[in-house]
Amino acid sequence: MMKAIELFAGVGGFRLGLEATKGFDVIWGNQWEPSKKAQDAFDCYARQFHNKGTHSNEDIATVDEKQFTDKGINLIVGGFPCQDYSVARSLSGEKGIQGKKGVLFWEIMRLVREIRPKYVLLENVDRLLKSPSKQRGRDFSIMLASFRDENYSVEWRVINAAEYGQAQRRRRIFIFAIRNDTPYIKHREKVDGKTMLHEKGFFANAFPVLEEIAEKHRPATILLKEDIVEVSDNFSMNYRNAGIMRNGVIYTEELLPDVEEPITLGDILEAGVDEKYYLHDAALEKFKYLKGPKKINRISASGHQYVFSEGGMAFPDPLDRPGRTMLTSEGTTNRSTHVVEDPETGRLRLLTPVECERLNGFPDNWTSGMTDRMRYFCMGNALVVGLIERMANRILDIEEEDQVSIQENPQQLELF
């Protein structure tokens, strides 16, 4: 069993995916919601994984990294907030002070430096690749430089869950980092970036892609600046939806998924739904307006007049397609909330909390015990468990490959 720790755990999506493979032991998990007295997500996590490892409900910035020394931890996982990762030089001119206080990526790197795990697997919103708008790609470049400086290689992929057989059209970036002293990296030193992304890399087997290259977005290769402060101040990059960074050399390409048959919204609906989820006349009219096309005259703060316009959305949501991306506002009277025609009654209604759990691949009633509003919120923040299970199996494949390599070439032990 490979030992792992989970950061920013939410209600345990990463852990569910890891444990589904029977190959991981999550010995510690942290979930803490700042500025909130009620810790609903942590309570759910602690309840569902009762007597399985240590559950931490504390600010990650206060966690003592020394407690993990010599614990044999080989994997760190976590879904962290998208923030401003700008780096400043210290007054004495030393290497950069890593970002503003409270930026949680630096807490990940603090634990990486202490634990030196073989693998790191992270999840974020796909706009991370373009952040910030005034220096596109800077934040992600800082992350890549941080891993480079700790002697890791990184591969990333933006994945739409529905394109790989899941029930939700949820797009997220997944970031896989692996130490450079591993057989996996050593054996691929001479494999070019394109081949890594299409055939030999981390995501290629679990999430197959088409051979052709996207015509609108050509591949690019670039060298990261050595000084992370220079990266923060001046570096920008138009990252594609996939890429790899090795020793500061970045190759990025827009990959086309080899699409699988998804689970549809109709497949995940419950029977016998409670009356409280059905929409009555006032709510129906509000949803029709929110989801319909509109043009509205507005005045900006500077006094400029403009027309705000947006197109119409399918209303109700089609049951023969996977669900749209679920947000934390799911279940409220909001443009992004799903509205379905119930197959039993023919009436329009909201998704139930259980149906939202199914959209993310969680077991039914995983979040029971909290209010419906919080159940929707937690699922809007969650990731798709089935994707993590595939990635976890891929890590186990790499681990097996490395063990075979070391057994066949014992002298490699001297290198690692």
Closest of 374, 345, 343, 338 to residue 275, by C-alpha: 345
82 assigned to active site: yes
- Positive or negative, the CA dihedral 335, 241, 147, 134 is negative
Catalytic residue among 44, 82, 356, 378: 82
Amino acid at 259: V
Reduced 3-state DSSP string for the chain = CEEEEEECCCCCHHHHHHHCCCCEEEEEEECCCCCCCCCHHHHHHHHHCCCCCEEECCCHHHCCHHHHCCCCEEEEEEECCCCCCCCECCCCCCCCECCCCCCCHHHHHHHHHHHCCCEEEEEEEHHHHHCCHHHCCHHHHHHHHHHHHCCEEEEEEEEEHHHHCCCECCEEEEEEEEECCCHHHHCCCCCCHHHHHHHHCHHHHHCCECCCCCCCCCCEEEECCCCHHHHHHHCCCCCCCEEEEECCEEEEECCCECCCCCCCCHHHCCCCCCHHHECCHHHHHHHHHHHCCEEEEEECCCCCEEEEEECCCCCCCCCCCCECCCCCCCCCCCCCCCEEECCCCCCEEECCHHHHHHHCCCCCCCCECECHHHHHHHHHHCCCHHHHHHHHHHHHHHHHHHHHHHHHCHHHHHCC
Cα angle value 53/151/249 (rounded, 5°): 125
Cis before residue 316, ω within 30 degrees of 0?
A: yes
Taking a C-beta distance cutoff of 8 angstroms, is the pair 242, 231 a contact? Answer: no
Active site members: 82
